[in-house]
Structure 1
Amino acid sequence: MTSASTHPDHHRISPVFLGLAAIMAVSGWAVWSGLADVTGVAVFFFVVSGWVVSLCLHEYAHAHTALRSGDTSVAAKGYLTLNPLKYTHALLSIVLPVAFVVLGGIGLPGGAVYIERGRIRGRWRHSLISAAGPATNALFAAVLTAPFWLDAMADVPFAFRYALAFLAMLQVTAAILNLLPVPGLDGYGVLEPWLSPAARRQAEPFAPFGLLVVFGFLWVPAVNGVFWDAIGHVMGVLNVTELDVSYGYDFFRFWQGEPELSVTPQP
Structure 2
Amino acid sequence: MKKNNHAVEGPDGLVYTARLPLSSATLYYLAELIRGHLKKIGSRWRALPAGKIATIVLAVLRCDQRPGDLAGGNNIHRTTVTRWVREVVGLLAARAPRLDWACKMIARKGGGIVLLGGSLIRTRRRTGSDNRKHYSGKSKCHGLLVIALTDDRGRLLWVSAARPGRTSEITACRHDKLTAKLRASGLAAIADLGFIGLDDIDDPGADPAVITGYKAAKNRPLTRGQKLSNKALAAVRAPVEHGFAHLKNWRVLGMLRTDPTWATALVRALLVLTNREVSR
Range into which the TM-score falls when normalised by the shorter chain: under 0.3
TM-score by length of 2: 0.25
Larger of the two Rg values belongs to structure: 2
TM-score by length of 1: 0.25
Structure 1 or 2: more helix by fraction: 1
